[in-house]
Each structure stands twice: as C-alpha cells, then as structure tokens.
Amino acid sequence: METARAEVAPSAGMRDLSTLPGPRRLPLLGNLLEIRPSQFHLTLEGWNRKYGDLYTFWLGRTPVVVVGSAELVQRILRERPKEFRRWSPLQELIDEMGFGGVFSAEGDQWTRQRRLVMSAFTAGQLRESHGTLSTITRRLRERWRASAARGAPVDARRDLARYTVDVTTAVAFGLDMNLIERGTDPLSDQLETVFASLNRRVFAPFPYWRHVKLPADRALDQALSEVRTRMLDILRTTRAELDRDPARAAAPRSLLEALLVARDADDPKARLSEQEVLGNVLTLLLAGEDTTADTMAWMLHFMALRPDVQARMRAEVDAELGDADLPESPEHAQRLRYLGAVAQETLRLKSAAPILFMEACADTVVGSLRLAAGTRMILLTRQIALKEEHFHDAASFMPERWLTPRPAGAGKHDPRAALAFGSGPRVCPGRALSMVESAMVGAMVARDFDVSLVDPARPVKELLGFTMKPEGLFVRFPPRHR
C-alpha cells in the first residue's frame, strides 16, 4: 500500500538529526564496534541515561534515532501503520527467512491477516482451550516433580519454551506436540537458532550471507529447513482433513484451518497466499515460544529472590482455588489478583521486547525533531517503565503497585508507560493468552513447589536474542512444605 507523503511545514524550534546528541562515531563503521547484539538493549538504555530521550547513533553510515520519551513512543505506536512501520531491513530479513506473516506485514496485508490471527485469541476461544491448557500445565508440573525427586536443577527457561510451544500449537493449530514429555524434540533448539540469527543479522554491516555462508548461517539454513518441513507436514495433514470434511470450511476448528480456508477464499481481498499461510504458522510458533517463556522464566526468578512474594502468591492461590489444583477457566485465573500483579511487575522490569525497531513512512515530526521518510528509529519501551517519573521506586520489584485499590502512599504509577505488549493498533494479539499462561504456571508453582535458585550468588543476566531472555537461570523445585 502506498503511503501518502506527510507535509511537514517549517516551524520555529524544529531540529534535524545533525542537532541530536549521541556517542561519537567512527568513519564508515559508525558505532558498530560499541555494539554487542546480545547486550544491545542495555547499551541503548545506557546511552539514554547519558544523552537523553532523543539521541542518535550510527549503524555504519546509517543514522538511527533512539526515542525514550513515553509521550513520543506512544504517539509513534498509535500512528502505525500510516506514519510509522517496522524497519524495512528487518522485514526483508524476516521475509527472506520465510516467516513473513502478520508480524512483519504492513498496510492492507497486515489488516487482512490480523483479523484472522486475532480469531485464535478471543475470550471464547481461550475459554474453549482452557482444558487443553490445564493438561499441558499438569505435564509441566510432573516434569518438575520428577526433577525434584532426582534432586536435579532445572533449566527453567528451556522447559518453559517447550511449554509455550505446546500451548501455542494446541490453541492456535489444534495440535498436541507434547514437547514437555518428549523432551528430546529438536524444535525448541531450532527456534532458538532462528531467533539468535535474526538478531545477529540485524546488526550486520551488509548482507554477507547472500554471498558467503559462515557456520552460523549454515546452521540457520538447516534449522529453517527443518522447521519449515515440519510445518508443511502439519499443513498438508490439516488440508487433507478439510478435504475429507468440506463442511468444516464454514466453521474452522482452529486458526490453522481458518488460514487454509482463507487461502482458498473466493474473495481476492480475503485470500491468503501459500507463503502467507506458512509465514503466519511460523510467526505464531516463534512468537508464542519466546516472549511468554521469557516472561514466565523471569517471574520464577523474582519468586526465587523474594520468599515474601512467593508466600503471598501461595496464600492467594490456596484461598482462591480451594480443592482445585489449577484455575478452572480464564476468568478463574484472572481472579488471582496478586499473581497477576506479579506478572505485570515482571513485564515492567523484564520485558521480552525492551526495544522496538521503527521507521518513518513519510516526512514527519517527532517532538521537535524533523524526520525524513525512511529514517530508522528504536523505541526504548522497557526503559520508559524504569523511570521515576512514571513509577515510584521504579527499579524495585513491587507487585503491590498493580493492585486495586493501590496501597496507601504507593506513589507515582502510570500504567500507560508499561509497554511490554506494545500499544496502538499493533498491540500484541497474544497478550490475553500470555497472561493466562503466566497465571496457570504461577498458580501451579505456588501450589506445589518452593522455588529457589541453584546458585544465588551467580547473577542471572539479560540476553537479547530478538527477545530478551534470562541467561543462567537454573532453579530447584523442591515440593512445597505444607
């Protein structure tokens, strides 16, 4: 879709990129030597504290504007997709890898695909899928019980990645992959390879992999091939089921069936291409695996650090669940108010998406800064929520700040500055499912285990691999002392 070019009239006080502060750059390289992809968000947040809420750095010879103001970030997100879009080089990378679904689509393509994807995450669909979600959560509990019986430490993030893949494929595709019990399935490792490679290629000075393949690029090609083959097999099986029962086309039983029906739609405006179907399957698989797994892993980290939080979660779960072992519906899960506050505070401090890559569609103005069409920006969505102007004692883990009514003397609290799921028209479509998953796992852990770190003296580090995950999070799940 062609975007109309915005008219930006000259105005007193307007600035251009040359007036912005930022780190000194080298000829040709810019600031590339100062960037480690796995710590990129921390570098940007450090520069924000030094240079302010509007500064610039250089990727080679390309300037990038960094925005750390809540007001400006919210405005940019609100005015997608007309004035701002995702980085075009990032979209090219995603399309090149073959999972260019709703995540990377823009304009009319995004509108068409978004409507279908959202159908998998309605309140009714989540309610209908809750029994399956409970079954998968119980499998995770049994896995952790077995680890506790052996006295073995748990790589919590790895197990939670399997859990979220199982949930996503069950809810969106109607499939039971059961990675939790199978354990040795390579799918999670393949998805990790894809994400790490995408993050690395974003910062490459040029697309060298189109000319020469390094070992990491060959590993990516292998991972993409295996994931794509696996998903194509699933698509063929589902297509055959639809062919055997044509009446299901009028009432698809899963998002996967709806995508395949849309592929064959008579209306060209509703029809999806084969690549769009596969791209959305891969997108949901990738997004569902990483972001929610990261959030739940960080939540376990805070529970282990804060026995008082763990005790309060346990008291709430005991009181609310009664004889049930898990919340019996999404609405039941939402009644766990303190547990939900723990999840919200985890998202504020440890957002899986601490930065967003944006680009101006046309000449525009951000604050007092005049930007040309195509200017690249990075939004510091996590850093905003760490500022005292938005949250009292912002660096501290305080779930109570999210409770209603709020505690007396709780201080500044601006929920609009918590942007873990984004904002505006392209807010994360899976946010409701993510919160229910966090409630289910949090309730299960509080009900059945005591959480502790294997080595409390060893710091758990933030590692950016397209999403931000905990590195070195190993926990123990001894049975709860009653």
* Interacting residues of 149 by C-beta distance below 8 A, sequence separation 6+: none
* Interacting residues of 417 by C-beta distance below 8 A, sequence separation 6+: 70, 384, 385, 387, 390, 391
Q: Give CA 300 to chain center in angstroms.
A: 17
Residue 100 CB neighbour total at 10 angstroms: 22
Is 428 labelled a binding residue?
yes
Write phi, then psi, for 267 (nearest 5 degrees). -80, 115
CA distances from 33 to 36, 40, 87 (A): 8, 12, 21
What distance separates the 2 farthest-apart alpha carbons in the chain? 70
DSSP state of 374: T
Q: Give CA 317 to chain center in angstroms.
A: 26
Percent helix, percent strand, percent coil in the chain, to nearest 5? 55, 10, 35
Token pair of 249 as six digits: 């086309």
Token pair of 19 as six digits: 């007036």
Omega of the bond leading into 89 within 30 degrees of 0 (cis): no
Rounded Cα distance between 258 and 204, Å, is 37
Residue type (1 letter), 26: L
Per the annotation, binding residues are 428
Residues contributing to the annotated binding site for heme: 428
